[in-house]
Chains A and B, each alone.
Chain A
């Protein structure tokens, strides 16, 4: 009986959305932090090319984090 009255599709969508949003944001933000940390280290070690690459990774990570958040809020307000 429970199998028929529970909206399993909505529950599974909730699980999927939570995992993708929660883990996804953490992943891209961690990449951004990693990029910043590497950028600082490479700069201190006077390795400008590596520092530039790490800075680019940090910027992409931050942009991705912002993009995921904006998409998430848009999905919420649209629903």
Chain B
């Protein structure tokens, strides 16, 4: 029995190039490779139309086509006999296909170069096996979606969300859960910064480079594209897609060169093969982006995508609620206690209780809202302003304990009245200090209250 089109969804990931056969009105056959076949519904697929090539001209004359696709899990080839129905130049299908092209192009530094002219929709008349491409059923392949596993996994993640007491434990426990339960080892959560069109990573897992604090502009990489489009994006076989893009751009190259040439340094794996990004949206507002990556060419299956999208909707609400909750608690919080110093004591100097006793120079560049430590970039934007404010207060008064509330009320920080995302900024600052300067730290003391720990002599200088 031949399968339903729906069950072939894995074949439409473009891991192996699809093949398109057409015929002109005067009876000359044509055979060509095809960049992308997209599943539309149980009776239709869409082919990308980027150039007025011979295949496209043939379809205009003779709407009959044959497409070969291959199941990346089993290697089974499938033949789809098609009849052209219509071309779409807008709408969800067109946008989804165009977004995939843009996502791949952005990795090649070719964003905006390739244009999807239309998503050509075809009715599928017949699905049959390509007998010379027999599939193998391997233990590691041909995953059958297990609804019980999926429900239990989502239940577990949902419990993690419920248990989280603050933004930090929320985002960390979700990334850990995705690793523990689904085996998604490389993940990150990005949030919008106070600068328009820029995201910053506040939590990462399995990312050795460009980790917490890494920034990405809207439209760059999977996270930036998801933020820009506010739609989920899944890419499989990224290198294959890039090779295709380079071929179109007349920049033929080899796979190794492609690996080296990824031109946009974005957070995450250096050479991902599969990516899945979902926007974290609450009533249309972008709270963040959840990104998963893998070095396996086809890692994120249909059921994974559905699960992560569902998780994303829970997570978005939880992140927003967490920030509102923190604000409410902050509003009722007591101000930070004044410094306790023995009578007659001199103004407190730096505390030197860590192994790192060398003096560090911390320079704040006000115009750029950027902090360098010993000449190395530490952090910028609002987290930099906050750190500088804390350090200067400490230097002037000796006070080391602070509250979120006072930061919110501090006019010099100029936090927005509403939706200031202070918790995510403090989380980012804490993580950056852990990574780059363990002698400095923000140590939570109670909800909405923390201690600025300075474990080495520091010299502060503003420019």
B partners with A: no
